[in-house]
Amino acid sequence: MAGIGLSLPSNSTHRPTFTSSVPPKPSSTRCCLSSVKMTVSVDDKKKTFTLKKSEEAFNAAKELMPGGVNSPVRAFKSVGGQPIVIDSVKGSRMWDIDGNEYIDYVGSWGPAIIGHADDEVLAALAETMKKGTSFGAPCLLENILAKMVISAVPSIEMVRFVNSGTEACMGVLRLARAFTGKTKIIKFEGCYHGHADPYLVKAGSGVATLGLPDSPGVPKSATADTLTSPYNDITTVENLFNTHKGEIAAVILEPVVGNAGFIKPTPEFLNFLKKVTKENDALLIFDEVMTGFRLAYGGAQEYFGITPDLTTLGKIIGGGLPVGAYGGRREIMEMVAPAGPMYQAGTLSGNPLAMTAGIHTLKRLQEPGTYEYLDKVTGQLINGIIDAGKKAGHAISGGHISGMFGFFFTDGPVYNFEDAKKSDTAKFAKFYRAMLEEGVYLAPSQFEAGFTGLKHTQEDIQRTIDAAEKVFKDL
């Protein structure tokens, strides 16, 4: 990771630490909740656990928005019951509108790596906001975040900011096709690259969670050039390259899968993809929307030492505001308009608020010890959960890298989505609901990875393991 001249305050109070420091609830929220009832902490929560207000709010939401949500997995369909409706977040915690407190391992699906509602990020946002929320014109903050991304991510020499991971994956596909002059792509079963038409083939995330077939509304022509292979399967990819000689523009993958549950690549698989794309004049695309700045500061490509041709980013680089990005070698990126002919644009792209949150989030991640801390607490968490499950006689397997983890209710090993589907999802649903009552918020799907952040303390981890031990016994 290279510095970019943004120095951190020497007396920063945000260094990762193993001491317990549960952040106080923001006073404004405390005030609102107290008018309803006392906030319920993780400790005394069991006595009064109720989701009455969440249920009322969600029932109302279902009349207003499809399924009551604006993104499918949030609806808790695969774990049963109704979702909790969130009132506020801070550090490693979140509070629902009934006043229940949870240790959060979703982190807004990844962005909250430095903890929710970080004081420095909020202060920086307030300063930026004084100058306006959107310019629709160049601003200095874009240069700062672009430099940070370029100096961090090995494959990126130039970057284009967009507003979501979906947009980043749409842009990068068009770019790969424009650069190579070819149209076919290879994607992997259970990998999710946003909801654009060409990627909705054997997709992960909500599509996997809800067990949906490929989506209606996606014309056959949109997916005609999407070839698929099981993850970690060298032979199938080799065969696809042989069958479609000279036609494949790119191979895109999650370098560690998070959208079919947590699945690691084998080292041979990543090395092979690098080699086969090079030999066939195709581009290797790492979709690092989830893994970027999470597995290491330079993402999965730094962690594994394999440099793709193009990379997509999202989540963490927006620090909780909507941002995505794609980037790569200069010669490829200079095809993007207006430097080149490949068109892609965005009204709010590079807006000052999102750039500010991203800059201050990455700045924090540059502090020494960040990724060591994430790896340590996440290792303790996943090993504790798996040990507790095994001790209670359950088939369970899982793993972690840095602040990303997952487990399946199967003995494993899990190399691909077919293996992941052997997991006992009914058992996961029961486990999930019981953990929620214990004040632990996990991703509401067996097919989603979990995330930790710098504000998770050892006490949080121990409480979670204790809760899991208790729940496993009754499962």
Ligand X SMILES: Cc1ncc(COP(=O)(O)O)c(C=O)c1O
Contact 362, 145 (CB under 8 A): yes
Q: Does 253 sit near ligand X (CB under 6 A)?
A: no
Q: Does 293 sit near ligand X (CB under 6 A)?
A: no
**In Å, how far are 103, 222, 299, 372 from 379, measured between CA atoms?**
17, 41, 18, 10
Residue 192 annotated as catalytic: yes
Q: Does 109 sit near ligand X (CB under 6 A)?
A: yes
Of 287, 309, 419, 460, the active-site residue reads 287
Of 102, 105, 192, 432, the active-site residue reads 192
Residue from 39, 78, 128, 259 in contact with ligand X (CB under 6 A): 259
Contact 356, 128 (CB under 8 A): yes
Contact 282, 258 (CB under 8 A): no
- What is the footprint of ligand X within residues 311-330 (CB under 6 A)? 314, 324
Q: Give the residue closest to ligand X by C-beta.
A: 165
Alpha helices in 84-139 (DSSP H): 119-130
Residue 287 annotated as catalytic: yes
Query: What is the rounded CA–CA span in Å between residue 77 and residue 75?
Result: 5
Q: Which is nearer to ligand X, 300 or 382 (CB)?
A: 300
Query: What is the rounded CA–CA span in Å between residue 1 and residue 152?
Result: 5
Phi, psi of 18 (to 5 degrees): -90, 0
Per-residue HEC secondary structure of 166-184 comes to HHHHHHHHHHHHHHHCCCE
Q: Which is nearer to ligand X, 22 or 86 (CB)?
A: 86
Residue from 89, 117, 289, 342 in contact with ligand X (CB under 6 A): 289
**Residues 6+ away with beta carbon under 8 Å from 91:** 21, 22, 23, 115, 116, 117, 455
Q: What letter does residue 350 receive in the DSSP assignment? A: T
Residue 315 annotated as catalytic: yes
Q: Which is nearer to ligand X, 68 or 318 (CB)?
A: 318
Report in angstroms how near the CB of residue 290 gets to ligand X at its nearest. Answer: 4
Residue from 78, 166, 223, 344 in contact with ligand X (CB under 6 A): 166
Residue from 142, 254, 302, 460 in contact with ligand X (CB under 6 A): 254
Applying CB under 6 A, the span of 100-108, 189-197, 226-234, 433-441 interacting with ligand X comes to 189-197
From the list 360, 374, 375, 392, the residue with the least C-alpha distance to 120 is 360
Of 45, 315, 363, 421, the active-site residue reads 315
Residue from 39, 164, 452, 464 in contact with ligand X (CB under 6 A): 164
Q: Does 165 sit near ligand X (CB under 6 A)?
A: yes
Q: Does 287 sit near ligand X (CB under 6 A)?
A: yes
Report in angstroms how near the CB of residue 324 gets to ligand X at its nearest. Answer: 6
Q: Does 290 sit near ligand X (CB under 6 A)?
A: yes
From the list 241, 230, 168, the residue with the least C-alpha distance to 202 is 230
40 has which bridge partners?
Answer: 100
Q: Which is nearer to ligand X, 109 or 304 (CB)?
A: 109
Q: What letter does residue 26 receive in the DSSP assignment? A: P
Helix-then-strand count for the chain, H and E: 17, 14
The residues that touch ligand X, with contacts defined as CB under 6 A, are 109, 164-166, 169, 192-194, 205, 254, 258-259, 287, 289-290, 314, 324
List, by residue number, the catalytic residues. Answer: 192, 287, 315
